[in-house]
Amino acid sequence: MTAAPLMPEIHIAEQVPATEVRAYFSQDRLLNAYALADLDGADVERARWWTASRANTIVAAALVVEALAFRPCFATGDGEALTRIFREGIREPRLVVSMPPAGRLAVEATYRFERLDRMDRMVVEVRRFRPRVTHTVTRLGPDELADVIDLYGHASRSYFTPDRMAREIYFGIYSGSTLVSAAGTHVRSQQSNVAAVGNVLTRISYRDRGMATSVTSAVTSAALEEHADVVLNVRQDNSPAIAVYQRLGYRTHAPFVEGPAIRRSAFDRLLGRIK
């Protein structure tokens, strides 16, 4: 009887050269679009990342965006390696974690999810895109910042800044002088040639009029002028939104899970192992 060969030891590292972690995330550039965008240019200084390697080959990685108060975290890779990253590397008390479904147990060894949403990453490219704009849409920039904050609420003030409005692509629909619907590129990565659409919102009294379709279409069209692919996130149980995106030509690329998570206490982690 021959014993099974031992797996190479896992090595955890923080802030390896950005080129190395970018190459790993680029193995699935559409699923990891947000992480790749945070590794671009000036944004790289606003993020921290950890890798797990076996025999000098990266097998898992996680990135935390420190510039945002809610600490988005993008993680993917081998389950055992992810467990080590979240246990020994990341120390944030709270995170909003996004990862493939297979990584959930690895995260839950150290963090407790307050809520977990089952999501789909959808993608569209130029040849599949079918624009559908049935309203008058307006490109939004720094001059419209007050209108954007009024639509999304006071809490969005720290997120929407003049710099973001100038850097990203946002479109909106006005009723009189009031901004009633808007959507924009949440992040854009020049190096990975992908943009992500997000922040789609319509005031309640203006919903079911196709406005979300129009602003999403306008943003997607503008983003495709500069990027090869455009992605977005949608809850798997949000059938109306999925139908809208499919009409625009979006297709499902991969599922993932996402939710706010709190780091477990040492006693909680020990109790979990005992059970």
Find the helix or strand (DSSP H, E) in which 218 lies. helix 211-224
| Pairwise CA distance, residues 243 & 92, whole Å | 37
End-to-end alpha carbon distance in the chain: 33
Find the helix or strand (DSSP H, E) in which 63 lies. strand 57-65
| Pairwise CA distance, residues 272 & 269, whole Å | 5
The CB density around residue 18, as the number of other CB atoms within 10 Å, is 14
Check: CB of residue 260 under 8 Å from CB of residue 95: yes
- Sequential pLDDT tens for the chain (275 residues): 555 555 689 999 999 999 999 999 999 999 999 999 999 866 677 899 999 999 999 999 999 998 878 899 999 999 999 999 999 999 999 999 999 999 999 999 999 999 999 999 999 999 999 999 999 999 999 999 999 999 999 989 988 999 999 999 999 999 999 999 999 998 899 999 999 999 899 999 999 999 999 999 999 999 999 999 999 999 999 998 999 999 999 999 999 999 999 999 875 655 555 44
The DSSP secondary structure of 39-51, one letter per residue, reads TSGGGGGGEEEEE
Check: CB of residue 46 under 8 Å from CB of residue 66: yes
| Pairwise CA distance, residues 257 & 214, whole Å | 27
| φ and ψ of 62, to 5 deg | -140, 140
Check: CB of residue 74 under 8 Å from CB of residue 98: yes
| Pairwise CA distance, residues 103 & 61, whole Å | 11
pTM (two decimals) = 0.89
Check: CB of residue 236 under 8 Å from CB of residue 252: no
